[in-house]
Amino acid sequence: MDSRVSRESGNQGVIYSDNSIKVIIFASVIIVLSIALIGTIIYMITEKEIVHKLKEQDLVTITDSVASKIGSRMERAYETSSLLAGDPTIIDWIQGEEQDEQLKEYVIGRISNITNNFDYDNAFIVSNKTMQYWSETGEVLDVMSRFNPYNAWFFDFLDSQRLIEINIDYNEQRDDTYVFINALMGTVE
């Protein structure tokens, strides 16, 4: 039996022996395995370098960026709270036990403007005279009571005699947890 295979291509006849076919198959398998091995090695090296870069550089940059953004928002909220707490018209309204409708309109407009134009979730004023918790919509959301555990933040702040503080708290009326900047209106007395 002849171990050669004859193939015709156009006008030329090409003859392959069984050994030639085995060598071609063997070379093809070696090439495929080499490509797979090199691809796997390159993938592993690249993955390791990407993870290393991510840990050493990118995550640090992202963390710094997020911290800077949070810091700037907190600073802005701190300043806004301080400005509201020092506003003489708001202080007059609170001292008058929120009776003056004209002042109320100004005050509610002021805190409403903060939420609408300055990207705050909410704004509020709590009177230490009437204990009413006023929202940016002009509603009284709550009347503060030392017996309500959800109101502890208010009385803790008053008792601390600080002018301003940052507070993370769940708000029962708004049904969410917020970072609040509490600022005392007037002086500590």
The Cα–Cα gap between 22 and 130 comes to 97
Flag whether pLDDT at 10 surpasses 80.
no
CB-CB contact of 166 with 74 (8 Å)? yes
Instruction: Give the C-alpha separation, 76 to 71, whole Å.
Output: 9
The whole-number pLDDT of residue 8 equals: 47
For 117-148, write each residue's pLDDT tens digit: 988 888 999 999 999 999 999 999 999 999 99
- Note the pLDDT of residue 12: 59
Which of 154, 184, 159, 183 lies closest to 169 in space, CA to CA? 154
Separation of alpha carbons 2 and 172, rounded Å: 93
pLDDT in tens, 132-189: 999 999 999 999 999 999 899 999 999 998 999 998 888 888 888 888 899 998 766 6
Amino acid 20: pLDDT = 85
Residue 1's pLDDT band (boundaries 50, 70, 90)? very low
Convert 75-103 to b/e letters by CB count within 10 Å (16 or more is b). Answer: eebeebbeebbebeebeebbeeebeeeeb
What pLDDT is attached to residue 11?
45
Strand partners, 135: 124
* pLDDT tens per residue, range 85-108: 999 999 999 999 999 999 999 999
What average pLDDT score do residues 12-21 get?
A: 74
pLDDT of residue 56: 84
pLDDT at 84 exceeding the cut of 70? yes
Residue 10: exposed, middle, or buried by beta-carbon count in 10 A (0-12, 13-18, 19+)?
exposed
pLDDT of residue 176: 87
The structure's pTM equals 0.66
* Lowest model confidence (mean pLDDT) among 19-28, 42-51, 170-179: 170-179
First to last CA, the chain: 115
Residue with tokens 């002018």: 163
